[in-house]
Amino acid sequence: MTTNEQLFARAQAVIPGGVNSPVRAFRAVGGTPRFIARAEGQYIWDAEDKRYIDYIGSWGPMILGHGHPAVLEAVQKALLEGFSFGAPTEREIELAEAIIAQVPSIEQVRLVSSGTEAGMSTLRLARGVTGRSKIVKFEGCYHGHADALLVKAGSGLATFGHPTSAGVPAEVVQHTLVLEYNNVEQLEETFAAQGDEIACVMLEAIAGNMNFVRASVPFVTKLRELCTKHGALLVFDEVMTGFRVALGGAQSVYAKLIPGFEPDMTVFGKVIGGGMPLAAFGGKKDVMKQLAPLGPVYQAGTLSGNPVATACGLATLAEITKPGFYEALTAKTQKMVQGIAEAGREAGVPIVTDSEGGMFGFFFADTLPQNYTQVMATDKERFNRFFHGMLDHGVYLAPAMYEAGFVSAAHTDADLAATKAAALAALRG
């Protein structure tokens, strides 16, 4: 049998770091990454045929679990019809209609192949529509690896950003302002000073790349107010949260708390592709009409709206829009995080948890963090030990304390009970 260690050694010889996306390398937690051989339902098996309860779900899209029969049937049918055409298909229209039907803020969407591509295109469109250059993002929020978004925050009032990746010239991010998440005062100061120069503000309303941190209602309320007042576009990055935390995404959660709330634009990915490379961005028609071929903002992609990916996405959306789906998923997710919290209490280890829909997070801390600085102050070493303990007991969590987790419709009460038992053993180990 080929081992994970052998595969990792082979991979490092031909792939930088041995992986095609950095978090997979286990650098944050140490050890050898598991090379996955197959998956079914709520489980994955590695190269050594060890089974794990999967709480990554391909970082969110496997909301139904792996290999759902209806999704498999749709994909197999689409494969027989053709892999790619480079021409329009009816399924592109159907997927756009399905997204728009569930998200009231959107009138038109453009399909692309990745969340990074969608986020990058949204920035270009916002700048093209407003004629402005500055953009605002928040420390700890990840919007893909487009140059303008790879920026580290400074302290105090927003300053010009500094790139956090080599190869990104300082002049590329000079118009990117980085603010502290959930800091209303800083938001007000920034708009007072530079509001008329800001093209858009991009926000993960439930940030999944600093584990799981919610934007407060006062923060989102003030953000909407300031964007409207100054003519900036408010962009919700729902690559992770879209169709994951609720049928209408995170914006539907906030719409219940803030009367009349809507973002101006939205970025989608993951669930809408059901595990295939597919993403989208959308908004009102008067914004979207600025895209080529109608308008002056150029965006294109050979594989955009791929016929196999759209079939996968449509089949997934058909399942999750069935009555009672999110109520059942929410209950499972809440039970899962309650189990981890109870294990912490029984082991005498401080753990705080949060969840929405099928997305969750937990921290080794006494209170839930509200921003990136607070996340960084939680117990990283304990998380790393816990991660490996859970892995040893057959539970696969994200290999970094900065990543959210995901429950699928396929997880059972037995899986949740096994997860709690594993957590208790890992905490006591």
Of 298, 320, 342, the position where a domain reaches its end is 320
What pLDDT is stored for residue 152 in this prediction? 57
392 part of the active site: no
Total structural domains within the chain: 2
Task: State the pTM of this model.
Answer: 0.95
The tokens for 367 are: 């209170």
Q: What mean pLDDT is reported for the chain?
A: 95
Query: Are residues 77 and 28 part of one domain?
Result: no
The tokens for 111 are: 């399909």
Query: Are residues 150 and 133 part of one domain?
Result: yes
Q: What is the per-residue pLDDT across 94-126, written as a single tens digit (0 to 9) for each?
A: 999 999 999 999 999 999 999 999 999 999 999
Query: Are residues 87 and 35 part of one domain?
Result: no
Catalytic site residue from 270, 354, 372, 415: 270
pLDDT band at 1 (very low <50, low <70, confident <90, very high): confident
What pLDDT is stored for residue 164 in this prediction? 66
Catalytic site residue from 43, 54, 55, 237: 237
142 part of the active site: yes
134 part of the active site: no
The answer for residues whose C-beta is within 8 angstroms of residue 220's C-beta and 6 or more apart is: 203, 205, 254, 258, 261
Helices H / strands E in the chain, number of each: 13, 18
Query: Are residues 351 and 212 part of one domain?
Result: no
Nearest partner of 99 among 308, 284, 317, 256, judged by Cα: 317
Q: What is the per-residue pLDDT across 265-275, written as a single tens digit (0 to 9) for each?
A: 999 999 999 99
**C-alpha span between 168 and 148 (Å, rounded):** 8
Query: Are residues 253 and 145 part of one domain?
Result: yes
Tell me the CATH number at 266.
Answer: 3.40.640.10
Residue 31 domain boundaries: 4-67+323-428
Catalytic site residue from 52, 142, 372, 402: 142
pLDDT band at 163 (very low <50, low <70, confident <90, very high): low
Long-range contacts of 155-160 (CB under 8 A, 24+ apart): 157/186, 157/189, 157/190, 157/193, 158/186, 158/190, 158/194
Q: What is the per-residue pLDDT across 181-204, written as a single tens digit (0 to 9) for each?
A: 999 999 999 999 999 999 999 999
Neighbours of 377 (CB within 10 A): 11
Query: Are residues 17 and 127 part of one domain?
Result: no
Q: Does residue 243 carry a pLDDT above 80?
A: yes
Query: Are residues 76 and 50 part of one domain?
Result: no
**C-alpha span between 156 and 177 (Å, rounded):** 12
The answer for residues whose C-beta is within 8 angstroms of residue 364's C-beta and 6 or more apart is: 349, 350, 351, 378, 379, 382, 383, 386, 401
